[in-house]
């Protein structure tokens, strides 16, 4: 299946007020800011979107708002991963019904699954919808890697398995995914998950990235892609180095979403920065470090 997804697709943070209620006003501001910043698509309810702390009904509510507000300006991916297959099927069907362009499905976490059960999980999801299904490989959090051989099996046998987000810190894993899966299925899209593997992924023949720093600095990641596509490799490398420096943001808190939301706010977009438990808002010390980081990288005026 040909995917409409390429380039930079920010994993959009879900915005909540201080009471933990979804804030559609702030969310609309962020969506508009990212589209105006030239992104090539938007992912909602990924890891950065705090899907793991939300009920299925809350996830549906956010997905409905996002698809409606984007209004076909860019392609929309909805994260529908869950430890249970039935929930993933339910959310994937909902995403298709409201007009999403595709779903991103992280493999079940908690249990280590046999390959047969893991394949059956993706098979049931794939057969439940007609829109593209992108796999989401994040072994640090799921405890189970989606190997290139397994992904190739999915792409060979499931018609709408259309791509993968590779959140792995091993360039060799990304390279093998591109060579083995995309080599046989040229329309299969491979995205980096970690921001500082965007350049590597493009250079190896991949299609783009889904970097959380694009929430507050979309111009850097989109600029890198544009420079690479124009073969302006010196500019692409300069922006790659800038992204690498921004990786310090991930050390400010765990989960890191509080830091990303504060960075969006610091860059001038007046949004709510509440997070869902067990996460907490960024500490005052963290805000100071974050401010210095953004100043150092020229993302704030002194």
- pLDDT at residue 301 above 90? no
Q: Let me know if residue 157 belongs to a domain.
A: yes
Q: Let me know if residue 300 belongs to a domain.
A: no
- pLDDT at residue 41 above 80? yes
CA–CA separation, 123 and 118 (whole Å): 9
What is the pLDDT, as a whole number, of residue 270?
94
Give the structural domain span for 16: 7-251
Q: Let me know if residue 292 belongs to a domain.
A: no
For residue 110, indicate whether it is catalytic: yes
Q: Let me know if residue 190 belongs to a domain.
A: yes
For residue 233, indicate whether it is catalytic: no
Side by side, the strands of the sheet bearing 102-106 are 7-8, 208-209, 189-192, 161-166, 133-137, 102-106, 76-79, 42-44, 11-12
Q: Let me know if residue 94 belongs to a domain.
A: yes
From 18, 110, 233, 280, the catalytic residue: 110
Q: Look up the CATH number of the domain holding residue 62.
A: 3.20.20.70
Q: Let me know if residue 196 belongs to a domain.
A: yes
Band of pLDDT at residue 218, cut at 50, 70 and 90: very high
Q: Let me know if residue 192 belongs to a domain.
A: yes
CB 299 within 8 A of CB 217: yes
CB 66 within 8 A of CB 34: no
CA neighbor of 96 nearest in space, from 69, 131, 72: 131
What is the pLDDT, as a whole number, of residue 3?
80
Q: Given the structure tokens 């699954």, which residue do they identify?
A: 113
What is the pLDDT, as a whole number, of residue 1?
74
Number of domains in the chain: 1
From 60, 165, 261, 287, the catalytic residue: 165
- pLDDT at residue 2 above 80? no
From 3, 92, 136, 287, the catalytic residue: 136
Q: Let me know if residue 302 belongs to a domain.
A: no
What is the pLDDT, as a whole number, of residue 298?
96
From 3, 26, 33, 47, the catalytic residue: 47
Verdict on whether the full-model pTM lies above 0.95:
yes
What is the pLDDT, as a whole number, of residue 282?
97
- Strands (E) in 27-99, as ranges, are 42-44, 76-79
């Amino acid at each position: 299946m040909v995917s409409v997804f390429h380039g930079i697709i920010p994993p959009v943070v879900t915005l909540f007020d201080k009471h933990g209620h979804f804030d559609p006003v702030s969310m609309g501001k962020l969506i508009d800011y990212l589209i105006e910043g030239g992104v090539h698509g938007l992912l909602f309810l990924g890891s950065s979107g705090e899907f793991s702390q939300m009920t299925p009904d809350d996830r549906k509510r956010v997905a409905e708002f996002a698809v409606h507000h984007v209004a076909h300006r860019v392609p929309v991916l909805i994260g529908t991963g869950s430890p249970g297959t039935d929930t993933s099927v339910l959310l994937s069907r909902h995403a298709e019904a409201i007009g999403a362009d595709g779903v991103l499905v992280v493999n079940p976490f908690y249990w280590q699954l046999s390959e047969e059960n893991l394949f059956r999980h993706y098979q049931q999801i794939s057969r439940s919808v007609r829109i593209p299904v992108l796999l989401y490989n994040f072994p640090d959090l799921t405890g189970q890697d989606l190997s290139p051989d397994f992904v190739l099996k999915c792409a060979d046998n499931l018609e709408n398995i259309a791509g993968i987000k590779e959140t792995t810190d091993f360039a060799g894993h990304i390279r093998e995914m591109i060579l083995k899966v995309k080599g046989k299925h040229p329309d299969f899209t491979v995205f980096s998950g970690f921001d500082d593997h965007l350049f590597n992924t493009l250079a190896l023949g991949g299609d783009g990235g889904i970097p959380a720093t694009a929430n507050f600095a979309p111009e850097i990641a989109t600029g890198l892609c544009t420079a690479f596509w124009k073969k302006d490799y010196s500019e692409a490398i300069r922006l790659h180095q800038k992204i690498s420096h921004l990786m310090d943001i991930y050390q400010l808190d765990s989960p890191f979403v509080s830091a990303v939301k504060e960075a969006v706010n610091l860059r001038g977009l007046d949004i709510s920065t509440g997070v869902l438990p067990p996460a907490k808002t960024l500490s005052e010390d963290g805000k100071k470090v974050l401010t210095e980081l953004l100043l150092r990288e020229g993302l704030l005026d002194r």
